[in-house]
Amino acid sequence: MTPLLISVFNLEKAVAIGTDLWFAGLTKVSGSIAHHREGHVDYHIVKKLLMGSIPMTIATMVYMHLVGLSKRSDSTLAYALGVALVLTAITVAFRPVWFKVGIWLEKYITRERRPLLTVLCGAILGVMVSLSSIGAGALGATMILLLYPRLDMKRLVGSDIAHAVPLTIVAGIGHASLGNVHWALLLELLLGSLPGIWIGAKLTKHLPETITRFALCICLLLAAKKILLA
C-alpha cells in the first residue's frame, strides 16, 4: 500500500506511511476480533511482542518529533521503506522454508530464552513499522514462526494480526500528531477495501499459491527498487 500511495497518489513518504498505518490497523480489527472469537490468539506471545513493540514505537515517534521532517529524515524513511519491502519479499518467497529453519533453531532458542527473544522481535517490529508501515504482517508472522515453529498455523496468524492492530494504531497516532495522515484518502481506501477483500478472497481460491507468492515478491522488489533508487 505505501509504495502505491507514493507512486500513484504522489504522497510524501511520511504521509503515505502514516495513512497506510491507519489503513492497516483499521482493516485488521475485524480479523483480530474473528480470530479472538475462534480462540486463535496466543495472548502470551502477543503480550511479549507488545512489550517490545509499543515502547519502541513510542520512542521512534518521539525521535521523529524531535528531528522533524527534514530532507535527511525523508531519506531515512525511504531507506527504511526499501529495506522493509526487500525483507518482506524474502519472507514471502521462502515461506515454506521458515518452518524447517524454526525447527532447527529450537536447539538454540530454548524455552528460557524465548520470552526475551520475543520481546526483542517486537522491538524490531516497532521501529520498522513506525518508519515504514511495513513489517506487522509477513515479517511479524515469520518471526513468530521462527521462535514458535510448533505453534498451530491458525494461532500463529491470529496472534500476528492481534499484535498488528495496537502496533499500527499506536504508530498511526504518532504519525497523525505529525500531520502525516491523508484522512480523506484513507476513507476512500477503506471504502474500496470492502469489495477488494471480497474479490481477493474469491481469487485466492482459484490462483495457485506459488503464483500468488511469486507475483507478490516481484511487486515488492520492484517497489523497493523504485524507492531506494529514487
89-113: average pLDDT? 91
pLDDT value at residue 24: 93
Nearest to 70 by CA among 4, 128, 12: 12
Torsion sign, CA atoms 204, 208, 213, 216: negative
Lowest mean pLDDT among 66-80, 96-110, 167-181: 66-80
Distance of alpha carbon 179 from alpha carbon 17, whole angstroms: 11
CA distances from 148 to 73, 142, 152, 201 (A): 35, 10, 9, 27
pLDDT value at residue 160: 94
pLDDT value at residue 230: 65
Contact 68, 141 (CB under 8 A): no
Q: Where residue 220 falls among pLDDT bands split at 50, 70, 90?
A: confident
pLDDT value at residue 16: 94
3-state percent breakdown (helix, strand, coil) of the chain, nearest 5: 80, 0, 20
CA distances from 126 to 60, 83, 107, 147 (A): 8, 15, 27, 17
Torsion of CA 76, 122, 175, 221, to 10 degrees: 50
Reading the block at residue 168, the C-alpha cell is 499500527
Residue 75 has pLDDT above 80, yes or no: no
Domain count, the chain: 1
pLDDT value at residue 191: 92
User: For 7-53, what is each residue's pLDDT tens digit?
Assistant: 889 999 999 999 999 999 999 998 899 889 999 999 999 999 999 99
Residue 71 has pLDDT above 60, yes or no: no
Reading the block at residue 60, the C-alpha cell is 521512534
Contact 37, 107 (CB under 8 A): no
pLDDT value at residue 216: 83
Q: Which domain holds residue 131?
A: 2-228
Considering all CA atoms of the chain, what is the largest pairwise distance in Å, rounded to the nearest integer? 50
Amino acid, res. 194: L
- Cβ-Cβ contacts under 8 Å for 163 (sequence gap 6 or more): 45, 46, 49, 50, 53, 122, 136, 140
User: For 190-218, what is each residue's pLDDT tens digit?
Assistant: 999 888 877 876 776 677 878 878 888 89
User: For 116-163, what is each residue's pLDDT tens digit?
Assistant: 999 999 999 999 999 999 988 889 999 999 999 999 988 998 999 999
- Cβ-Cβ contacts under 8 Å for 32 (sequence gap 6 or more): 41, 158, 161, 162, 164, 165
User: For 154-198, what is each residue's pLDDT tens digit?
Assistant: 899 899 999 999 999 999 999 999 999 999 999 999 999 888 877
Contact 49, 158 (CB under 8 A): no
Distance of alpha carbon 25 from alpha carbon 165, whole angstroms: 5
Q: Three-state DSSP class for 133?
A: coil
Lowest mean pLDDT among 10-14, 70-74, 83-87: 70-74
Residue 227 has pLDDT above 90, yes or no: no
pTM: 0.88
